[in-house]
Amino acid sequence: MTPGLTDLIDRLPGDPDLIQPLVALALAILLYAAAWGLARLVAPRLRRRLPPLGDALAGHVRACTRHGLAAGLLVLGLIFFPEGSLGHLVMGIVLGGAVALLAAHVLRGLAIPRWAVTPLALILFILIVSGSGGGIAPVGEMLDRVGVTLGKRRLTLLGILSIAATCVALFAAVRLANQLIGRSIQKASGFDPTQKLLAQKLAAITVVVAAFFIGVDLLSIDLTAFAVFSGALGLAIGFGLQKTFGNLIAGIILLMDRSIKPGDVIVVGDSFGWVNKIGVRAVSVLTRDGKEHLIPNENLMTQEVENWSYSDRNVRVRIPVGIAFDSDLPLAQKLMLQAAQESPRVLANPKPNVWLTAFGESRVEHDILVWISDPEGGVGNVKSDVLGRVWQLFRDHGVTIPYPQRVIHRAPETDQP
């Protein structure tokens, strides 16, 4: 404890051993209040300066800033009280709570489940309080004594807690790194959407691999001891996840050659819709019915795919129309062209056209050819709109649409007995 604070406590009436923790508690409350006020000023600026971090923490920026500032101020407050004193313990308890709340808000902002957040926050609180009350070593020795022996290896409670805390921390670090990198790539102006998606996938794979090796190093796992087991396990996983890895590589190839991109309108077999997302395993194709078809990436590499917007988003739609043989042919064609030009989604350039295609059994066959630039909006509604306008114009101008007619001849009767 600093001499100035010691003299002040000695001058106060009462037992100094009882007054010291009260002073420490008052100082901790004062420091927390100061952190609370600073957070109201710092958090908005931090969110403006680092928007990816604010987006990643999903509304927990102010709470993380508040508890982080409080932890920093409380660390400075520890120097006013000697180690092993009640004042030091009180400050350590408040500091442990601040660090635990900081960890909890960071992990919850990263969408880590509560069952994983609570134990990690509790471990941090216990470690900090133990360090303030006499050292972490006694607690570690107590946890290390509780365990079982499996062969030549002893599994202790301390080891289990260390593994769990490391896994949760690495998982949170991977989530945070992926979100920060992903949002930074999305805001980059030098990439198109396909290149951004490819960069996000490669960055995510790199972060996961780096986290794996960091975890192995932190937990001091000897991989050579698992050489035989890992070889057999790897062979089994290789056969079991052959399709999964094939789809992963196929998805990366699709993004690299840019043959299929998010937003493209494609036809694969009976699935027609626009590409909503290219995932690790499958491509999500959203249909006009609101159904989402998940097509494996490998299928898009091996099957025939119609991409309506691969090099040009303009798509031509053919609308068949038939008129009666006794109709005014030039007038009917003029009305069909007028109906196409008045439809809101039909492009003026390339301009619509009307072709006479055949003389049928009961009508003259025509095709109305129109162009649209938003195939993701569907083609059925364009046909419906144009045909509705054709029907109204034909009725207004006396053009008839025939229906098939059949003549039935009755066989003559005979006078046979």
Contact 366, 359 (CB under 8 A): no
Tell me the pTM: 0.52
Phi then psi for residue 410, to 5 deg, are -85, 135
Question: How far apart are the C-alpha atoms of 284 and 295, rounded to whole Å?
Answer: 7
Considering the domain architecture, whether residues 320 and 298 belong to the same structural domain is answered as: no
Closest C-alpha among 90, 32, 93 to residue 66: 32
Considering the domain architecture, whether residues 274 and 374 belong to the same structural domain is answered as: no
One-letter amino acid identity for 379? Answer: V
Q: Is residue 297 part of a domain?
A: yes
Considering the domain architecture, whether residues 14 and 108 belong to the same structural domain is answered as: yes
Q: Is residue 192 part of a domain?
A: no
Q: Averaged in consecutive runs of 10 residues, what is the pLDDT profile of the chain (417 residues)?
A: 49 57 83 86 74 65 84 82 76 84 81 76 78 56 64 69 77 80 76 72 83 80 61 60 74 77 82 81 82 84 81 85 89 92 90 91 90 82 91 90 71 60
Contact 352, 337 (CB under 8 A): yes
Q: Is residue 63 part of a domain?
A: yes
Neighbours of 89 (CB within 10 A): 18
Contact 321, 387 (CB under 8 A): yes
From 102, 135, 168, give the residue that closes a domain: 135
> Residue 20 burial by CB count (10 A; 0-12/13-18/19+): exposed, middle or buried?
buried
Question: How far apart are the C-alpha atoms of 205 and 245, rounded to whole Å?
Answer: 13
Q: Is residue 410 part of a domain?
A: no
Domain range for 337: 315-397
Looking at residue 341, its pLDDT comes to: 92
Structurally, how many domains does the chain consist of? Answer: 3
Phi then psi for residue 241, to 5 deg, are -110, 25
Residue with token string 């508690």: 25
Contact 301, 256 (CB under 8 A): no
Report the 3 state secondary structure along the chain.
CCHHHHHHHHHCCCCHHHHHHHHHHHHHHHHHHHHHHHHHHHHHHHHHHCHHHHHHHCCCHHHHHHHHHHHHHHHHHHHHCCCCCHHHHHHHHHHHHHHHHHHHHHHHHCCCCHHHHHHHHHHHHHHHHHHHHCCCHHHHHHHHHCEEEECCEEEEHHHHHHHHHHHHHHHHHHHHHHHHHHHHHHCCCCCCHHHHHHHHHHHHHHHHHHHHHHHHHHCCCCHHHHHHHHHHHHHHHHHHCHHHHHHHHHHHHHHHHCCCCCCCEEEECCEEEEEEEECCCEEEEECCCCCEEEEEHHHHHHCCCEECCCCCCCEEEEEEEEECCCCCHHHHHHHHHHHHHHCCCCCCCCCCEEEEEEECCCCEEEEEEEEECCHHHCCHHHHHHHHHHHHHHHHHHCCCCCCCCCCCCCCCCCCCC
Residues 6+ apart with CB under 8 A from 374: 313, 345
Considering the domain architecture, whether residues 25 and 117 belong to the same structural domain is answered as: yes
Q: Is residue 382 part of a domain?
A: yes
Considering the domain architecture, whether residues 324 and 295 belong to the same structural domain is answered as: no
Looking at residue 4, its pLDDT comes to: 44
Considering the domain architecture, whether residues 320 and 254 belong to the same structural domain is answered as: no
Question: How far apart are the C-alpha atoms of 48 and 332, rounded to whole Å?
Answer: 62
One-letter amino acid identity for 410? Answer: R
Q: Is residue 189 part of a domain?
A: no
Looking at residue 226, its pLDDT comes to: 57
Looking at residue 132, its pLDDT comes to: 65
Considering the domain architecture, whether residues 101 and 9 belong to the same structural domain is answered as: yes
Considering the domain architecture, whether residues 40 and 98 belong to the same structural domain is answered as: yes
Which tokens sit at 6? 């010691």
Q: Is residue 390 part of a domain?
A: yes
> Residue 247 burial by CB count (10 A; 0-12/13-18/19+): exposed, middle or buried?
buried
107 has which bridge partners?
none
Q: Is residue 370 part of a domain?
A: yes
Considering the domain architecture, whether residues 292 and 378 belong to the same structural domain is answered as: no
Considering the domain architecture, whether residues 38 and 63 belong to the same structural domain is answered as: yes
From 272, 307, 342, give the residue that closes a domain: 307
Task: Calculate the dihedral angle through the C-alpha atoms of 393, 395, 396, 400, rounding to the nearest 10 degrees.
Answer: 90
Residues in the chain: 417
278 has which bridge partners?
283
